[in-house]
Chain A
Amino acid sequence: METEPSMGEQTLTFTAISAGTPDPRESAAARVEDDDPPTGEIDLPGDLAGDTVYSDFGAFEDSEDDDLAASGDDPAGSRDLDDPIDLDDPVALGDLDDLDLEDDQDDRVDLDDLAGDDVGKSDRDSGKIDAFDFGVGARPEREPRVPDPIAKQVEAALSTLRELIGGIRLGLELPGVEKARKSRQEILAQLDDYVVPRLTFSTAPALVVVAGSTGAGKSTLVNTLAGAKVSATGVRRPTTSVPVLVFHPSDRAWFQEGGVLPDLVATAGAPEQAQIVLTETERLPEGVAVLDTPDIDSVVEENHAVAHRLLAAADLWVFVTTAARYADAPAWRLLRLAKERGARLAIVLSRVPGRSKDVVVAHFTRMLEDYGLGDVERFVIPECAVTDGRLPSAEVTELRMWLAELSVDEESRDRAVQQTLSGVLDSFRTRIPELARHLEAQVAFRAEMRADVEAAYGTALAEIDEAMRSGSLLRGEILARWQDFSGTGELIRSLHVGRSRRLRAPGSKHQEPARAGTLKAAIRSGLEAVIIAAAHRASEEVVVRWGYRAPAGTALAATPGLGRASEELIRRATRAIGAWQEHVLELIRTHGVAKRSVARVVSFDEEALAMVFTVGLLGYGTSDVRIETGTSVMPQRLLRALFGAEYLRNMSAKARNDLRARVSMLFDEEMIRYADALDHAGIPDENAATHLYQATYNLEVAR
């Protein structure tokens, strides 16, 4: 009998648990009951759950009848078939028939009749009916476990993690940032799509994600499993771009309530922008949903991202490859990923030409063994004609059995689910600290970049300080104007004997010191030039320093305008120097009265004296400028005579500090541009890394 091998496989699990039950249907039903501790007896929902499974298998059998190509001699298949004697008596098929089953079978019959015409639609329709009839009743059975305190703690730890990782900013283009960003996205998506839903709804159906290369036949496989063309197939590559989720009608509530893949499913209602297509079919066993994904290696790179996101949400990975592709690098990258994640994996080698089957399977098996994946479930599907996007049903029997086993045997399903879940949580142990390390690198790098800016402008400020003191400013125009001012006697004319400063009315016949004015302008433009040149050099220095910090620094250094002093600097510098000169004048005014003995006998013109003071401040006489008597400290002499040495020192210190403060302020404004550029790239939280480590640790403790 052609159905024997498949039925044998099907019953294999059942008999292992309820040994001695000759009738597979009964054993299946009994199995469902066993899994139902609260009821203790055959109640309606339990019965129905079993029946539903059965009706699926019935349909399956039907298709087997149509297609005589049995998979019994498939070597890969026969591995699992260690107890073929447990074949059931087909006569017993009727034994369990009761009223509900009759109803169910009626449904099936309708469905089968319709299958040829509009399978998807009829599936949906019948699915609805099923859900109304049984789904509601069946649901409560699947919700018992959790909320125990441990799970609560894990959930809390995860939500902290979620928040922390969500808040991470990775703005700087450091080496490895792409990886870190991707890893962040992956972890977030995995938390949202998989870990949290899986913990919250721990009894949700197992999500089996079918992934693999383009053209490997993923959609064909899913169609075959669903018994209908639910996903488009064709010769165009890549074929599938929108994932298709196929599930049993009674599981619908899980998917529609958003327990699984909440983000994706939310859009399923609006077909135009759907990110996922939901399809119901009774051909699939209950408690197992199959997801057809886009490829991992085609030229359409968005597909890879979608596929990886779905894989991250999978309870089980079914990896599909072909005889032509099994050595492709992308395929092995995916296998490595599965291994890293510790995900529960099954491998389907599809499109195997009959003549080379043994060679290819043996080679692939050896490669897998070498890679440490020797004990993963493998299924081989020979190359055969595809009709209506489906393979002959017989070719996928083993796979179907495997799924059915998961469906019926809750323990084994839980094991599979838990394996993947703890694999994911284990992977957090390394992935999150990795992310945190990168975050630390970002924070450190940012600090270094800031230090670059501060160092460059610090040097510039020191240069200006030096120029202020050393007399190197007293050159060119300033010195010439000073000579003009002093040599033409204007300096001495600005001193008056006996007339108190206060008595001299403004606008008196005393002439304005014109040369003091030009000297003042010369000093202003000289100081301005020094500040601008220093700022310019500093900005170049920053760009050079950042340029060494490739690639992140280089990218930021290329921000337009950073390599030169800002446009407003000239205006600002003019204003700052003007204000400083006013300040000096004010100092002269307020300190002028200090030496009473002098004030009584000599008055002076403040503008002119301010110039003398400034020139003295700039280091007149200390410079390398040729002044033949060398040590002439003429301005200081005059100033000391007027103010006294003590006051002069005070004033000088004040004036210097004031100028320094003003220049630092100018430079601070210049530095803001760099800070802005850095901030533009995203401001990482300095403590985020520590918090991440802590949260990872907390998660480990909670588990």
Chain B
Amino acid sequence: MTTVTTSGNDLAARLTALSRIVEFGADRVEPRALAEARQLLGRAGDRLALSGEHTVVALAGGTGSGKSTLFNAVCGLDLSPVGMRRPTTSNTHACVWGLEGSGQLLDWLGVQSRYRFNRASALDRDDNRLHGLILLDLPDHDSIRALTDYEADRMIGVADLIVWVLDPQKYADASVHRKYVTELAGHDAVTVFVLNQIDRLTPDEVAECVDDLRDLLRREGLENPIIVTTSALTRKGVDGFRSVVAQIVATRRASAQRIAADLERIVPQITPPLPPVEIDVVVDRQRRTGLTDALCDAVGVAAVADTVENVYAARSVEWVGWPYARWVTSLGTDPLRTLNLHGFRDDIRAGLTAASVSAQPAEVDNAVQSLVDGVSSGIPDNWRYGIRDIARANSANLPRALADELVSVAPRLDHVPGWWQLMRLWQFLLVLLAVVGVVWAGSLLLFGVPESQTPVPWVAAGVAVSLGLGLLTAVVSRNVVRRTAAADREHLEREMRGRVERIAEESVILPVEGELARYGEFHTALATVGAIQRPMAGLRG
């Protein structure tokens, strides 16, 4: 498995992915990392558009490490002034091998034209080897002057290849290692270390120094640092350095490698490495059901249905019940009358015109919250907050939306079906019949039975039948009422649930899925730039 591939296509794809990250990650990624990513995108775009034939090699290092001397030694001319005073160089000097096409690049680098030199002399024997090299002699980064001048900083940020010129006295300075080397760990391919001034040491000491430096660099995360020893003063090792540079220049890949390395560095700042999980951009069946259930609870669908069923049954007694039973019940003293609460029953009835179809805002909140918690587990905090906010933005209106949607299905509690009235009339007739029968039978008993008249037992039977018919009717009606109520209840419950589900879909699920999809895109882009831990080889096909 390759860790970093730097083929042109791959880099382009990763840069595109980075631009998608910048696009999707606004407000979700730490602003500083985002700004840096934008900067890198800009820089990469510029650099890749400019001369790919040239490789910008910057000589960086502390004051007095011999950057200018080495620069002059590589150029073979005294182009950059050297001196004993520290710091010496305060402007970037550039020397170009192969002038054509370099002008724009140098403009972009910001090298002043009076410090540009052309080294396209046919006299050079290794002219060809170094063709395409732009060698920069940077000011130092560690003197008191550098505290107010960021020229070196800037150049180190844009050069294709950084050559750290170190010397035996300063090679372990914190100013190089903490600020740059550790930061740029992972830039192995585009970093070269030169241990200069080896003329000051014995060969043994040089070896010790190089070992120590290598150890130090390894500890800082550079696996295979390229270390070259030179003495710019005596020109020892300068040719070796030239050929190292020549090799890198010849590949014409340093600029792309540099950008790839910068990309590697930026990615962890955007996000800590994420586990390779599949991102669900749709809310699954179970969670949808969960949300609908919770919202139904907030509306109290079951309770409303219960109420409708119970109140229907209770009220039906007045209409379709057996009148005699009602009269017996009402014979007792009415506590309301005792309490002087006249019209209290009407008050109660006034509160019972229509079934309640409103939602508890707090319960709606909690329902939405638990959905958000469910779908956003394993998602970075900032994105989770995003999902939460978008879900909540809609959930604020949710109770009202639910009420509005359900009000049309809410049954009236004071509705009296036609057959109830018929039954009442029928019962009334039966009572009347019974009364007539009783009166008739009574008069027969009192005044004797005329010959042609029906005998008393017949009349008694008729009364009994009317009473029995009334009871039977009441019983049957009650059963019918129960069955109707149960059917109504079921229908109501199903209808309400369906509407709640639709509202939930519209106001919660869809926006949340939109945000999830955005995160999915972001996640894919992250995978492309390499921020997702790759699954262990062998775990997946």
B347 and A481 within 8 A (CB): no
The yes or no answer to B376 lying at the interface (CB within 8 A) is no
B304 and A480 within 8 A (CB): yes
B352 and A483 within 8 A (CB): yes
> Which listed segment binds B: A153-161, A356-364, A409-417?
A356-364
In the bound complex, residues from chain B placing their C-beta under 8 Å from that of A332 are 144
Choose one: B85, B366, B413; the contact of A487 (CB below 8 Å): B413
The yes or no answer to A441 lying at the interface (CB within 8 A) is no
Central interface residue in B178, B352, B354, by most chain A CB within 10 Å: B352
A526 CA to B83 CA, complexed, in Å: 83
> Which listed segment binds A: B167-175, B273-281, B518-526?
B167-175
In the bound complex, residues from chain A placing their C-beta under 8 Å from that of B345 are 492
Q: B300: nearest residue on chain A (CB-CB)? A: A477
A359 and B85 within 8 A (CB): yes
The yes or no answer to A637 lying at the interface (CB within 8 A) is yes
In the bound complex, residues from chain A placing their C-beta under 8 Å from that of B365 are 529, 533, 536-537
The yes or no answer to A238 lying at the interface (CB within 8 A) is yes
* Interface positions of A from 606 to 644, Cβ below 8 Å from B: 625-629, 632, 634, 637-638, 641-642
Query: Nearest-CB distance from B489 to chain A (Å)?
Result: 12
The yes or no answer to B333 lying at the interface (CB within 8 A) is yes
> Which listed segment binds A: B35-43, B102-110, B306-314, B416-424?
B306-314
B172 and A487 within 8 A (CB): no
A328 CA to B144 CA, complexed, in Å: 6
Q: B206: nearest residue on chain A (CB-CB)? A: A235
A525 CA to B302 CA, complexed, in Å: 14
Choose one: A351, A478, A637; the contact of B344 (CB below 8 Å): A637
Q: B88: nearest residue on chain A (CB-CB)? A: A327
In the bound complex, residues from chain A placing their C-beta under 8 Å from that of B333 are 497-498
A356 and B362 within 8 A (CB): no
B348 and A327 within 8 A (CB): no
Query: Nearest-CB distance from A177 to chain B (Å)?
Result: 20
> Which listed segment binds A: B112-120, B208-216, B235-243, B432-440?
B208-216
* Interface positions of B from 45 to 71, Cβ below 8 Å from A: 62-65
A497 and B363 within 8 A (CB): no
A236 CA to B169 CA, complexed, in Å: 9
B306 and A480 within 8 A (CB): yes
Q: B216: nearest residue on chain A (CB-CB)? A: A299
The yes or no answer to B510 lying at the interface (CB within 8 A) is no
B147 and A329 within 8 A (CB): yes
The yes or no answer to A330 lying at the interface (CB within 8 A) is yes
A628 and B360 in contact (CB under 8 A), knowing A237-B212, A324-B169, A483-B311? no
B300 and A489 within 8 A (CB): no
* Interface positions of B from 291 to 308, Cβ below 8 Å from A: 297-300, 302-304, 306-307
A325 and B350 within 8 A (CB): no
A477 and B303 within 8 A (CB): yes
B366 and A327 within 8 A (CB): no
* Interface positions of B from 424 to 448, Cβ below 8 Å from A: none
A634 CA to B349 CA, complexed, in Å: 10
Q: How large is the interface on A (under 10, 10 to 19, 20 to 34, 35 or more residues)?
A: 35 or more
A237 and B350 within 8 A (CB): no
In the bound complex, residues from chain A placing their C-beta under 8 Å from that of B362 are 467, 526, 529-530, 532-534
Choose one: B169, B175, B341, B356; the contact of A479 (CB below 8 Å): B356
The yes or no answer to B534 lying at the interface (CB within 8 A) is no
A300 CA to B300 CA, complexed, in Å: 68
* Interface positions of A from 285 to 336, Cβ below 8 Å from B: 297-301, 304, 322-330, 332
Q: What is the size, in residues, of chain B's interface with A at 8 Å between Cβ atoms?
A: 78
The yes or no answer to B143 lying at the interface (CB within 8 A) is yes
The yes or no answer to B451 lying at the interface (CB within 8 A) is no
Q: A570: nearest residue on chain B (CB-CB)? A: B366
B350 and A629 within 8 A (CB): yes
The yes or no answer to B228 lying at the interface (CB within 8 A) is no
In the bound complex, residues from chain A placing their C-beta under 8 Å from that of B450 are none
Q: B295: nearest residue on chain A (CB-CB)? A: A476
A403 CA to B147 CA, complexed, in Å: 35
In the bound complex, residues from chain B placing their C-beta under 8 Å from that of A326 are 86
* Interface positions of A from 482 to 525, Cβ below 8 Å from B: 482-484, 486-489, 491-492, 495-498, 515, 518, 522, 525
The yes or no answer to B205 lying at the interface (CB within 8 A) is yes
A475 and B356 in contact (CB under 8 A), knowing A324-B63, A529-B362? yes
A626 CA to B313 CA, complexed, in Å: 23
In the bound complex, residues from chain B placing their C-beta under 8 Å from that of A329 are 142-144, 146-147, 175
In the bound complex, residues from chain B placing their C-beta under 8 Å from that of A525 are 363
A301 CA to B178 CA, complexed, in Å: 10
The yes or no answer to A353 lying at the interface (CB within 8 A) is yes
Q: Encode B471-491 as 1/0 by CB contact (under 8 A) with A.
A: 000000000000000000000
The yes or no answer to A174 lying at the interface (CB within 8 A) is no
Query: Nearest-CB distance from A362 to chain B (Å)?
Result: 9
Q: Encode A354-397 as 1/0 by CB contact (under 8 A) with B.
A: 00100110010000000000000000000000000000000000
A629 CA to B346 CA, complexed, in Å: 11
Query: Nearest-CB distance from B446 to chain A (Å)?
Result: 39
Query: Nearest-CB distance from A349 to chain B (Å)?
Result: 11
In the bound complex, residues from chain B placing their C-beta under 8 Å from that of A491 are 348
Choose one: A213, A301, A325, A637; the contact of B341 (CB below 8 Å): A637
In the bound complex, residues from chain B placing their C-beta under 8 Å from that of A238 are 172
B64 and A363 within 8 A (CB): no
A640 CA to B364 CA, complexed, in Å: 34
A182 CA to B85 CA, complexed, in Å: 34
The yes or no answer to B185 lying at the interface (CB within 8 A) is no
Query: Nearest-CB distance from B68 to chain A (Å)?
Result: 13
B172 and A235 within 8 A (CB): no
The yes or no answer to B334 lying at the interface (CB within 8 A) is yes
The yes or no answer to A473 lying at the interface (CB within 8 A) is yes
Query: Nearest-CB distance from B205 to chain A (Å)?
Result: 4
Query: Nearest-CB distance from A285 to chain B (Å)?
Result: 30
* Interface positions of B from 325 to 352, Cβ below 8 Å from A: 332-336, 338-341, 344-345, 347-348, 350-352
A481 and B341 within 8 A (CB): no
Query: Nearest-CB distance from B288 to chain A (Å)?
Result: 20
A476 and B348 in contact (CB under 8 A), knowing A301-B174, A481-B307, A529-B363? no
The yes or no answer to A215 lying at the interface (CB within 8 A) is yes
A634 and B170 in contact (CB under 8 A), knowing A480-B306, A488-B311, A533-B366? no
The yes or no answer to B462 lying at the interface (CB within 8 A) is no
B359 and A476 within 8 A (CB): yes
A602 and B173 within 8 A (CB): no
A488 and B310 within 8 A (CB): yes
The yes or no answer to A214 lying at the interface (CB within 8 A) is yes
In the bound complex, residues from chain A placing their C-beta under 8 Å from that of B144 are 327-329, 332
A487 and B314 within 8 A (CB): yes
A484 and B306 in contact (CB under 8 A), knowing A332-B144, A479-B300, A498-B333? yes
A476 and B353 within 8 A (CB): no
Choose one: A482, A487, A601, A632; the contact of B310 (CB below 8 Å): A487
The yes or no answer to A598 lying at the interface (CB within 8 A) is yes
A496 and B335 within 8 A (CB): yes
The yes or no answer to B201 lying at the interface (CB within 8 A) is yes
A642 CA to B315 CA, complexed, in Å: 26
- List residues of chain B with CB under 8 Å of any chain A CB: 62-65, 83-87, 142-147, 167-178, 201, 205, 208-209, 212, 216, 297-300, 302-304, 306-307, 310-311, 313-315, 332-336, 338-341, 344-345, 347-348, 350-356, 358-363, 365-366, 369, 399, 413
- List residues of chain A with CB under 8 Å of any chain B CB: 213-216, 234-238, 297-301, 304, 322-330, 332, 351, 353, 356, 359-360, 363, 467, 472-473, 475-484, 486-489, 491-492, 495-498, 515, 518, 522, 525-526, 529-530, 532-534, 536-537, 598, 601-602, 625-629, 632, 634, 637-638, 641-642
23 contacts between A and B (CB under 8 A): A213-B173, A237-B170, A297-B174, A301-B174, A304-B174, A323-B64, A327-B143, A328-B62, A329-B146, A330-B175, A363-B85, A476-B299, A476-B358, A492-B348, A495-B335, A495-B336, A530-B362, A533-B363, A533-B365, A536-B369, A537-B365, A601-B338, A637-B344
Q: Which 10 A-B pairs have the closest CB atoms?
A: A477-B300, A324-B64, A237-B172, A356-B84, A480-B303, A327-B86, A475-B358, A215-B169, A479-B356, A533-B362
